[in-house]
Amino acid sequence: MSKSAVKKIQAIRGMNDLLPTDSPRWQFFEAKVRQLMLRYGFNEIRTPIVEQTALFARSIGEVTDIVEKEMYTFDDRNSESLTLRPEGTASCVRAAMEHGLLYNQTQRLWYQGPMFRYERPQKGRYRQFHQIGVETFGFDGPDIDAEVILLSARLWQELGLMEHVTLELNSLGSSEARAAYRDTLVAYFEQHREVLDEDSKRRLTSNPLRILDSKNPAMAEMLDAAPQLMDHLDAESRQHFEQLTQMLEAVGISYVINPRLVRGLDYYCRTVFEWTTNALGSQGTVCAGGRYDGLVEQLGGKPTPAVGFAMGIERLILLLETLKLFPEDIGGCDVFVLPMDDDATTAAITLAEQLRSELPELRLQLHCGGGSFKSRMKKADKSDASMAVLLGEDEIAAQSATLKFLRDDREQQRVPLATLASTLRELLATTT
Ligand code: ATP
Ligand code: MG
């Protein structure tokens, strides 16, 4: 076969490479999150990317979008049905139960990693995407609902996003209250059958609450007038919700109550919330979560109250980029060390290692790969470094280096090797 006939293998549709030009922004975001989790007393849990299919079918719910049409499910060589995880909560619950983490104790956990859903790829919607999530177990009061919402709010504050996102809140009540409401709602939809689209007609018997979530403009008016779950809450759920909103108000977090917020997954009860933005078009939800007190029991454990959320990293990165909220200086390089010719290579390597030992925070790139002096200088210029440290025959003989400023027209200067580290430290402290 001729070379040109070989078909190039490409990445799978909807699954993205993260390129070196993008990764500094991801790392910046992830570092903020990691630090925040420590500050709020959450511990990381890592679970496998693949689980038994039954785990997701049983937890997320058979009649949800995810289980009906979005899962990557396959038989392994042993004919066992496995699924690439579409979300993190089910795996988290499975792992916590399996390792006795829920036995007579509370947990505040967080996770991070790729999720897989067979969706139509578009901006902010991919087939492999990444979430960071928190899950708490063993707390039944509204204080923990507030705590996880406040954690997310602090993240938006620290990223400069707070004024660009809205907290939407609702309560789904107890499962009994929801069942009663479901009947009321179905009766209402039956009266307006002619307005329902095909999807909604199908959901009328399988998952009528999800109809409220529809974005179909033709149904908007009918949905706005539908009976509201908020008016059908059981007394305890109502109190839980009122206490939560009081706590949020006390800390100064504003919210809007969205009676149509029902969330796509079956396992939620009481508090549900989403952080949404107008800056990303229709993919506007950046973080979503709520309470799921029934899930642990549903998966075979003891009844355990639980609250959590998941945020979509791609959407948040996109939002931060759109709003130009990333600091300019992330992921760059401070100093470029450059042997002026091949004879200076060893001296330059030695110097670079010395500087890295003396200045552990310094981002130093050593020129490798030879080339003419001119091409070496070009590489220094192309790096983000603000300074180049040049070593040639003269410098080596004089136990010094030439310090060249790459981003302004300050005069270059000779610096003795003995004081180079402290000179760099001072210069960098004044430029940043
Ligand atoms: P949507 O209504 O946008 O489909 P969802 O309700 O399916 O979202 P969740 O399961 O709650 O989403 O996941 C939490 C978050 O993960 C979402 O708010 C979003 O930010 C992100 N997310 C979900 N699906 C995708 C996807 N296919 N690509 C990128 N991010 C996603
Ligand atoms: Mg979805």
- Atom 7 in ligand 1: residue holding the nearest Cα: 264
Average pLDDT over residues 32-58: 97
Alpha helices in 42-115 (DSSP H): 53-60, 65, 89-98
- Percentage above 90 pLDDT, the chain: 85
Ligand closest in space to the Cα of 125: 1
According to the model, what pLDDT value does residue 388 have?
98
Residue type at 366 in one-letter notation = L
HSE-CB at 386 with a 13 A cutoff on CA atoms is 14
- Atom 22 in ligand 1: residue holding the nearest Cα: 312
- pLDDT, tens digit, 9 for 90 and up, residues 123-149: 999 999 999 999 999 999 999 999 999
CA dihedral over 11, 12, 14, 17, signed as positive or negative: negative
Residues 6+ apart with CB under 8 A from 160: 323, 325
Average pLDDT over residues 276-300: 94
Is 316's C-beta closer than 6 angstroms to any atom of ligand 1? no
Whether pLDDT at 424 is above 70: yes
Alpha helices in 170-326 (DSSP H): 175-191, 198-206, 217-224, 235-251, 295-298, 313-322
Whether pLDDT at 432 is above 70: no
Whether pLDDT at 1 is above 90: no
Single out the residue of 429, 277, 421 nearest to residue 353, CA to CA.
421
Q: What does the block give as tokens for 114?
A: 């790729």
According to the model, what pLDDT value does residue 427 have?
94
Whether pLDDT at 2 is above 70: no
Rounded to whole angstroms, the Cα distance separating 244 from 154 reads 17
DSSP reduced 3-state for 345: helix
Q: What does the block give as tokens for 290?
A: 């709520």
Whether pLDDT at 175 is above 90: no
Average pLDDT over residues 34-41: 98
Q: Where are the domains of the chain?
A: 23-173+233-322, 335-431
Average pLDDT over residues 267-274: 92
According to the model, what pLDDT value does residue 431 have?
65
Residue 343: DSSP 8-state: G
Q: What does the block give as tokens for 315?
A: 């959407």
Ligand closest in space to the Cα of 117: 1
Single out the residue of 259, 260, 257, 319 nearest to residue 287, CA to CA.
319
Q: What is the CATH number of domain 335-431?
A: 3.40.50.800
- Mutation pick for ligand 1 pocket among 26, 129, 320 (CB with most ligand atoms within 8 Å): 129
According to the model, what pLDDT value does residue 210 have?
86
Single out the residue of 243, 256, 261 nearest to residue 141, CA to CA.
243
Average pLDDT, the chain: 94
Helix (H) or strand (E) holding 388: strand 387-391
Does 237 or 5 have the greater pLDDT score? Answer: 237
Does 430 or 297 have the greater pLDDT score? Answer: 297
According to the model, what pLDDT value does residue 351 have?
98
Q: Which atom belonging to ligand 1 lies closest to the Cα atom of 66?
A: 7
Whether pLDDT at 118 is above 60: yes
Whether the CB-CB separation of 323 and 156 falls below 8 Å is answered with: no
Single out the residue of 308, 314, 371, 233 nearest to residue 14, CA to CA.
314
Whether pLDDT at 4 is above 90: no
- pLDDT, tens digit, 9 for 90 and up, residues 41-53: 999 999 999 999 9
Rounded to whole angstroms, the Cα distance separating 301 from 42 reads 22
Is 210's C-beta closer than 6 angstroms to any atom of ligand 1? no
Average pLDDT over residues 95-116: 97
Rounded to whole angstroms, the Cα distance separating 336 from 346 reads 15
- pLDDT, tens digit, 9 for 90 and up, residues 320-361: 999 999 998 888 899 999 999 999 999 999 999 999 999 999
Average pLDDT over residues 55-80: 91
Q: What does the block give as tokens for 272?
A: 């549900």
Ligand closest in space to the Cα of 264: 1
Single out the residue of 72, 135, 405, 429 nearest to residue 290, CA to CA.
135
- Atom 6 in ligand 1: residue holding the nearest Cα: 264
CA dihedral over 315, 317, 321, 326, signed as positive or negative: positive
- pLDDT, tens digit, 9 for 90 and up, residues 353-386: 999 999 999 999 999 999 999 999 999 999 999 9
Average pLDDT over residues 289-306: 95
pLDDT bucket at 430, cuts 50 / 70 / 90: confident
Ligand 2 geometric centre to CA of 182 (Å): 22
Helix (H) or strand (E) holding 349: helix 345-358
Whether pLDDT at 23 is above 80: yes
Residue 361: DSSP 8-state: T
| 400-405: strand order across its sheet | 364-366, 335-339, 387-391, 400-405, 413-416
Beta strands 306-312 and 285-291, pairing class: antiparallel
Q: Which atom belonging to ligand 1 lies closest to the Cα atom of 289?
A: 11
The helix/strand count (H/E) of the chain reads as: 15, 16
Average pLDDT over residues 244-263: 95
According to the model, what pLDDT value does residue 176 have?
87
Is 87's C-beta closer than 6 angstroms to any atom of ligand 1? yes
According to the model, what pLDDT value does residue 130 have?
98
- Percentage above 70 pLDDT, the chain: 98
23-173+233-322 belongs to which homologous superfamily? Answer: Bira Bifunctional Protein; Domain 2 (3.30.930.10)
Whether the CB-CB separation of 111 and 47 falls below 8 Å is answered with: yes
Rounded to whole angstroms, the Cα distance separating 199 from 211 reads 8
Q: What does the block give as tokens for 159?
A: 């990223």
- Tokens 């396959």 label which residue? 74
Q: ∠ CA 352-355-359 to the nearest 5 degrees?
A: 140
Residue 261: DSSP 8-state: -
Whether the CB-CB separation of 333 and 383 falls below 8 Å is answered with: yes
